[in-house]
Amino acid sequence: MRRLELGASLAEVARACEVNPNVLHRWKRELHEHGVKAFTGHGKMRAEESRVAELERKVGRQAMENDFLRRCLQYAEEQRRLQALTTRGSSTRTSRKK
């Protein structure tokens, strides 16, 4: 970033650091938007990004659980209907035989 501040072009700095110019541009924007909090170091995400990722994982798990439970309910309802049809059919036959 210092090289950019000293007047070097984005392309020059990107080549010198062996970084894609788009990445360098994003870093520059993040530094401008977040200041010293832009890069927490040691590969750690900002707290809000970490929280968002955690919540997205929870939403994904809950969506999978909902789908599973919906399928279980559908199966149980189908089994109940089949049992009702089977029971009705056998009670009708039994009464006719008498």
**Separation CA 76–CA 93 (nearest Å):** 26
State which H helix or E strand residue 22 sits in. helix 21-34
46's tokens: 């900002």
pTM, two decimal places: 0.42
| pLDDT given for residue 93 in this prediction | 55
**Separation CA 68–CA 73 (nearest Å):** 9
With both helix axes pointing from N to C terminus, report the angle between 21-34 and 10-17 in degrees, rounded to the nearest 10.
110
pLDDT, averaged across the chain? 83
Amino acid at 28: K
- 12-60: per-residue pLDDT in tens? 888 888 888 888 888 888 888 887 777 766 666 677 888 888 999 999 9
